[in-house]
Each structure stands twice: as C-alpha cells, then as structure tokens.
C-alpha cells in the first residue's frame, strides 16, 4: 500500500483539530481543555487515514 496525499478538506480539518488540541493543553478553554489529548489524537488519526486510503 502506497501512501497518497489527503484531500485538502481532510487536511485542513485534521490541522484545525490538532491545533485545538495543542491550544487546549496550554490555555483554559472549557471543552477544548477537557478533551485536548483526544482532539490531538483525533487530528492525527484523521490525517493518517487520509494518507492511508485513497479518496478520503
């Protein structure tokens, strides 16, 4: 299986989710701080899925 580039929309969504996770770690935002590790993991998994499967 060869990796492929993810679609631009998936890449942007994963980037935003990952940045929210990082921001939530350093600042106190109610929902974001509570789930900062889950957001960071979700962004990484979405990006990994986008590169692993063609068409996502």
pLDDT (0 to 100) of residue 23 = 95
Q: Which residue has the tokens 């063609």?
A: 54
User: pLDDT tens across 21-45, in order?
Assistant: 999 999 999 999 999 999 999 999 9
Whose tokens are 């993810």? That residue is 6
Helix, strand or coil, per DSSP, at residue 6: coil
Alpha carbon distance 31, 39 (integer Å): 10
Q: What is the pTM of this model?
A: 0.83
DSSP 2: -
- Report pLDDT for 45: 95
Alpha-carbon torsion angle 7, 53, 40, 34, nearest 10: 100
* Mean pLDDT, range 13-22, rounded to an integer: 94
């Amino acid at each position: 299986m060869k990796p492929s580039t993810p679609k631009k929309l998936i890449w942007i969504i994963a980037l935003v989710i990952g940045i929210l996770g990082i921001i939530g770690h350093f600042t106190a935002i109610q929902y974001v701080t509570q789930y900062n590790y889950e957001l960071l993991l979700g962004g990484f998994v979405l990006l990994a899925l986008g590169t692993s499967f063609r068409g996502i």
